Amino acid sequence: MVPENRLRAARLVSLAASMCIALSAGTNYVYSAYAPQLAERLQLTATESNLIGICGNLGMNLAGIPNGMFIDAKGPRLPVLLGAVLLFSGYYPIYNAMHSGQGSTSVLSLCFFSFLTGVGSSASFGGAIKAAALNFPNHRGTATAIPLAAFGLSAFFFSSLSSWLFPGNTSDFLLVLATATSSIVLLSYFFLRVVPVPGAYSIVPPAELDYTGSSRLHRTKSGESRSAAKDTYQEPDIRGWALTKSTDFWLLFTLLGLLTGTGLMTINNIGHSVQALWQKYAPDTHPDYVQQRQGFHVSLLSIGSFSGRIMSGTSSDILYKNYGLQRIWLVVVSAVIFCFSQIFALNVENPHQLWLVSFLSGLGYGVLFGVFPTITSETFGLHGLSQNWGTMTVSAIISGQIFNMFYGRIYDDHSNVTPEGTRECTLGLECYRDSYWITLGAVLIGLVLALMTIQRNRRLAVQAGNVRHAAGP
């Protein structure tokens, strides 16, 4: 048997690898930092630019189910390797398009390459989350919070790196995304291991087991392994089509969709909002300064997301274990934060105050995603976490596309075509304000739905307690 201190060290190394992988997998949210410049270089409309961003989100979320099934069946390492390849295959052609200029690449091709970046992000991030959950099953909220937080910090990390190395150069920024993301994921692949806790061994594919030195982890007979796992987890195992028969699934699916779509609209379009406000507030502002402000707001979104994920993931364990509170209370917190961000978005006309929108949007998004994977695993079981989480995030495809298209259409309707062929809106807040009335309504519905879910869970818990009490010892 391998000493426990060596196993623990291996788990911590693997957790660090998960964090690095997640840091590289969250770059879809940096799209708004270069979207306006890409649109200007290729003379795209705001709707076309939004469509490219949406395809990245589609890749991330639509691939969640097949990637999740792949991860649950084969373990996290091979999908991580696939993710490294897809990240490079997606970002490098977009870099080429930016470098070559108008007419070099069609909008349809850009959508496809953006989709590849999303699929690569989904595969690598899904593997990182599953490895963290398996290595620390008794502290999964805290363990998964680390890669979740790194995922949220990704946009800040890469935009800051690019600003430091290539200030104002969007083309080189895309080259950094192509090379750095794939390289970091590939390097981290060699350190990502599943080192199962005794009693939880049977849920790990044999090919994914960690070897420490010359001693292989002790493997019990299949019957003993299943028995030990059953003793350790009295958890449900609901996955696949069985999810569609669960009321809990539809409640959580709808709730996640409403709030995720709200966050994605700001995340994908903050660059356009920055341009619109500065165009009216100070129309003579140099484009390089406006681009710097775009990067600043992307960084704020990222920092807010990072902070929310860390706070949510770790505090959910404390609330649940120490105070017996449902983790979904943190979803209520997320909805309240989103309410404030939408109200600010409807009223902020001074671009210097737009940080209230970007930071609070990132914070609300981070709180939501810091706890939702754990809620999913506890509701439907750890065994099918990857595919269940992938299924859950399909809701983001629906809401994200709807809200982003609303923003793009509203922005285009208020824009004019310049003699150079580019589009610009000089109306400031009015360029996009109507889109935030839609998301404010969605957030309020989400808030009510979260509170209803809490009450439903309490009622079900009381009923279950009464049944156990009537049955006796």
Q: Which CB contacts under 8 angstroms, 24+ apart, belong to 462-471?
A: none
Backbone angles phi, psi at 235, to 5 degrees: -105, 160
SS3 388: helix
Q: What pLDDT is stored for residue 248 in this prediction?
A: 92
Which of 112, 130, 33, 23 is closest to 73 using CA atoms? 130
d(CA 323, CA 266): 34
| Residue 424 contacts residue 418 (beta carbons within 8 Å) | yes
Residue 208 has pLDDT above 80, yes or no: no
Confidence of residue 2 (pLDDT cuts 50, 70, 90): low
Express each pLDDT in 69-104 by its tens digit: 888 888 889 999 999 999 999 999 999 998 888 878
Q: For the chain, give the percent of residues with pLDDT over 70.
A: 89
Confidence of residue 467 (pLDDT cuts 50, 70, 90): low
Confidence of residue 179 (pLDDT cuts 50, 70, 90): very high
Residue 199 has pLDDT above 80, yes or no: no
| Residue 440 contacts residue 71 (beta carbons within 8 Å) | no
| Residue 398 contacts residue 255 (beta carbons within 8 Å) | no
Task: Looking at mean pLDDT, say which of 271-275, 296-300, 333-337 comes out highest.
Answer: 333-337
Poorest-confidence range of 2-6, 107-111, 290-294, 373-377? 2-6
The tokens of 253 are what? 């699916």
Report in angstroms the alpha-carbon separations of 242 from 57, 246, 255, 296, 373.
Answer: 26, 7, 19, 44, 18
| Residue 365 contacts residue 263 (beta carbons within 8 Å) | yes
- Bridge partners (DSSP) of residue 216 are 211
Residue 338 has pLDDT above 70, yes or no: yes
d(CA 265, CA 443): 13
The tokens of 421 are what? 């062929």
Q: What pLDDT is stored for residue 377 in this prediction?
A: 85
d(CA 270, CA 31): 10
Which of 122, 61, 37, 62 is closest to 87 using CA atoms? 122
Report in angstroms the alpha-carbon separations of 15 from 78, 130, 186, 202, 324.
Answer: 17, 10, 15, 20, 27
| Residue 67 contacts residue 394 (beta carbons within 8 Å) | no
DSSP string, 115-143: HHHHHHHHHHHHHHHHHHHHH-GGGHHHH
Express each pLDDT in 363-392 by its tens digit: 999 999 888 988 988 888 877 777 888 888
Look-up of token digits 């989350």: 129
Q: How many residues does the chain have?
A: 473
Which of 145, 126, 124, 55 is closest to 387 using CA atoms? 126
**Chain-centre distance for alpha carbon 46:** 23
CB within 8 Å of 168: residues ≥ 6 apart: 288, 291, 292
Q: What pLDDT is stored for residue 212 in this prediction?
A: 46
Query: What share of residues in the chain are helix, strand, coil (percent, to 5)?
Result: 80, 0, 15
Q: For the chain, give the percent of residues with pLDDT over 90.
A: 36
Which of 242, 265, 268, 211 is closest to 384 using CA atoms? 242
Which of 12, 115, 95, 9 is closest to 54 using CA atoms? 115
Residue 141 has pLDDT above 90, yes or no: no
Domains and CATH numbers, the chain: 10-194+235-471 (1.20.1250.20)
Report in angstroms the alpha-carbon separations of 82 from 229, 231, 425.
Answer: 30, 35, 41
Express each pLDDT in 230-246 by its tens digit: 434 487 788 888 888 99
Q: What pLDDT is stored for residue 394 in this prediction?
A: 86
* Cα R_g (the chain), whole angstroms: 23
More confident position, 373 or 340: 340
| Residue 449 contacts residue 255 (beta carbons within 8 Å) | yes
Tell how many helices (H) and how many strands (E) occur in the chain.
Answer: 16, 4
Q: What pLDDT is stored for residue 421 in this prediction?
A: 66
Poorest-confidence range of 313-317, 376-380, 456-460? 313-317
Q: What pLDDT is stored for residue 217 in this prediction?
A: 38
Residue 315 has pLDDT above 90, yes or no: no
Mean pLDDT taken over the chain: 84
The tokens of 17 are what? 């690898």
Look-up of token digits 């849920």: 203
